[in-house]
Amino acid sequence: MNGGNAMLNTIHRQVVVVGAGAAGLTAAISAARNGAETLLIEYQGYLGGISSTLAWIGFHDQDYRQVVKGLPYEFIQRMWAAGQASPFELDIKCSSIISINNHYWKILAMQMVQEAGVQLMLHTQVVETLREGDRITGVIVEHKSGRQKITADVVIDCTGDGDVAARGGVAWEKGRTADGLVQAPTLVFRLGGLDRSEFIEGCKDPEINYREWIHPYPDLWEKTMKRIDQMQVIITGGFAGLMEKARLAGDYDVPQTRLVGVKTHQPDQFLVVSTRVLGLDPTSVESMTDAYTRLYQQVPDLMRFFKNWMPGGKETYLMEIAPMMGVRESRRIMGDYVLSANDIVNGREFDDVIALGGYHIDIHRPSGTWVDSKNVQTYDIPYRCLIAGDVEGLMMAGKCLSATHEGVASTRVIPICMAQGQAVGTAAALAVKAKKSPRDIDIRQLQNTLIDQGAELRQTLGGPDYEAIERIGQLPKDEPPTTGDADQASQTAQAWIK
Ligand SMILES: Cc1cc2nc3c(=O)[nH]c(=O)nc-3n(C[C@H](O)[C@H](O)[C@H](O)COP(=O)(O)OP(=O)(O)OC[C@H]3O[C@@H](n4cnc5c(N)ncnc54)[C@H](O)[C@@H]3O)c2cc1C
């Protein structure tokens, strides 16, 4: 009989992806489709990570061009074919939103991983990183069968926490410059029983101000009101007055002054994204445990808010709490290039572009209330942001991309994480095939492969969608910073741009 800590046989795979969230599962499918023998390691018992609890935003840019295509779009097309997602709803702030059946997404993710021939290891945690000199050579995992050494030609860190990098002594950063605090996390939950018509009537009341971005601009308000009855998916970010009344009445005590959430395409469901704790350290077990304790206490407060104060909320009931806390930001791995707010706001182009983004900079304030936001131009994500600095053999994508606190606040949304995933998996496979370090592969070959496999890059991007701009409207590019109480350490949008 083996002891509990038995070291099992060492295995080798050409590409090992750690973390099966939006970024990791896309990376693994792409690596396998491009011919690499690929292993995907995931701590949970399902695929999708935090993406399996949310609606997806940011497939488009602020000119309503679809800037994320390729494998992420293939996922959506398969969700549509199965009748499990809404159409794209174009949106003035988030560019676009698509509401999915989150449970079906887990099923589809599993199907697509299997179709691609990816080997899976679930309920498996990476606990150590193997490093020989300046080369990352693999990982040690723990699972029910014991401990196991896994070596690889290329390891891809998609843990969202940069666990592989941190354990391998690779440089990382965490949080904002002023005090190292990360964006506020949220435990997402879903309510059923919403009266859609009453809810929409409430949204039409300017006093209620359901979405603060629109309110200051009468033309945008008018255009939105013309469409709202037909919208299948409605994003909220307001209701501040009602929340304050609820607070004074003792019904609500959450450090979030706006209702952040999504009226999903399922007619009576609402995704509540409004729980919140301040001061989380996502790499500390004490801090994570404390955050869960507080977040679970906030769910009944928000349920009360819906029942007693929200238009259409009287009959709402709790359907589901996300299986994991939504950590918006954790370790960011320092790569060969660090994407900044400046690059994103000004829509910088890079020769080594491997994905595009058009989502605004969206910081759920680490302290204070509500968010800091800055509109952006369509920007390039350079390949160098996927390559961990100062080592060979380690790449990354998703939340732990090489970017600043403000940069990752745009690149972190699901479609853009997936676009990075497609690029990193493809690059790893090309590196394996060419027997080269990922740093040395032919970037044109990578770009051409991505384009052949449907990805949108600068080379393929068309012009603005003028019809949509006219119909939906556009926020001014220099829109002033958001309302809510900015704390001292929150930078103003302009101060990010050096
Ligand atoms: C509350 C919240 C709301 C959001 N709302 C939206 C939204 O509406 N729309 C949108 O598009 N985006 C939204 N985002 C952003 C987006 O969902 C995430 O940034 C994105 O899904 C991150 O994907 P990822 O693959 O990088 O990380 P994750 O989804 O965090 O995946 C990481 C995976 O790695 C696994 N893992 C971690 N460590 C280890 C280890 N050591 N060993 C093995 N496995 C490990 C985890 O279990 C997890 O499955 C939201 C984020 C949050 C937190």
Give the pLDDT confidence of 307-325 residue by residue, as tens digits.
Answer: 999 999 999 999 999 999 9
Q: Which residue has the tokens 């997936």?
A: 418
Res 498 pLDDT > 70? no
Q: Are strands 270-272 and 379-382 parallel, antiparallel or unpaired?
A: unpaired
pLDDT over 90 (residue 353): yes
Nearest CA to ligand 1 atom 51: 328
Measured by CA distance, the residue closest to atom 8 of ligand 1 is: 55
pLDDT reported for residue 492: 47
DSSP state of 21: B
Query: What confidence tier does 247 reach under pLDDT thresholds 50, 70, 90?
Result: very high
* Whole-number average pLDDT of the chain: 94
Nearest-CA residue for atom 14 of ligand 1: 413
Look at residue 486 and tell me whether its pLDDT is greater than 70.
no
The verdict on the CB of residue 33 being under 6 Å from ligand 1 is no
Q: Is the CB of 53 under 6 A from ligand 1?
A: no
Q: Is the CB of 237 under 6 A from ligand 1?
A: no
The pLDDT, as a whole number, for residue 4 is 54
Per-residue pLDDT tens for 111-125? 999 999 999 999 999
In tens, the pLDDT along 354-397 reads 999 999 999 999 887 888 889 999 999 999 999 999 999 999 99
- Residue-wise pLDDT for 162-216, tens only, equals 999 999 999 999 999 888 999 999 999 999 999 999 999 999 999 999 999 898 8
CB proximity list for 302: less than 8 A, separation 6 or greater? 189, 252, 254, 272, 274, 275
282 pocket-lining for ligand 1 (C-beta < 6 Å): no
pLDDT tens sequence across 126-164? 999 999 999 999 999 999 999 999 999 999 999 999 999
The domains found in the chain, sorted by start residue, are: 11-179+329-470 (3.50.50.60), 189-327 (no CATH)
Task: List the beta strands (DSSP E) in 48-181.
Answer: 56-57, 89-91, 95-98, 119-121, 125-132, 135-143, 146-157, 172-174
* Whether residue 487 has pLDDT greater than 90: no
| Residue of 186, 53, 93, 24 lying closest to 476 (CA atoms) | 93
Helical segments of 61-156, H only: 70-81, 102-116
Nearest CA to ligand 1 atom 53: 326
**Does position 276 have pLDDT exceeding 60, yes or no?**
yes
pLDDT category at 481 given cuts 50, 70, 90 is low
**Among 16, 50, 396, residue to substitute to test ligand 1 (most atoms within 8 Å of Cβ):** 50
For residue 327 and ligand 1, the question of a CB distance below 6 A is answered with yes
Q: How far away, in angstroms, is 161 Cα from ligand 1 center?
A: 9
pLDDT value at residue 1: 44
Q: Is 476 exposed, middle or buried (0-12, 13-18, 19+ CB in 10 A)?
A: exposed
Which protein residue's CA is at the shortest distance from atom 42 of ligand 1? 125
Q: Give the chain's count of helices (H) and strands (E).
A: 14, 21
The finding on whether 273 has its CB within 6 A of some atom of ligand 1 is yes
Average pLDDT over residues 253-275: 95
- Residue to mutate (ligand 1; options 26, 40, 54; most atoms within 8 A of CB): 54
State if residue 283 touches ligand 1 by the CB under 6 angstroms criterion: no
Residue 426 to residue 451: CA distance in whole angstroms: 11
Atom of ligand 1 nearest to the CA of 57: 11
Q: 286: which residues sit within 8 A by CB, 6+ positions away?
A: none
pLDDT band at 91 (very low <50, low <70, confident <90, very high): very high
410 lines ligand 1 (CB under 6 A): no
Which ligand 1 atom minimizes the distance to the CA of 188?
Answer: 1
CA 412 to ligand 1 centroid distance, Å:
8
State the pLDDT confidence band at 482, using cuts at 50, 70 and 90.
low
User: In ligand 1, which atom is closest to the CA atom of 25?
Assistant: 25
Poorest-confidence range of 52-56, 214-218, 422-426, 470-474? Answer: 214-218
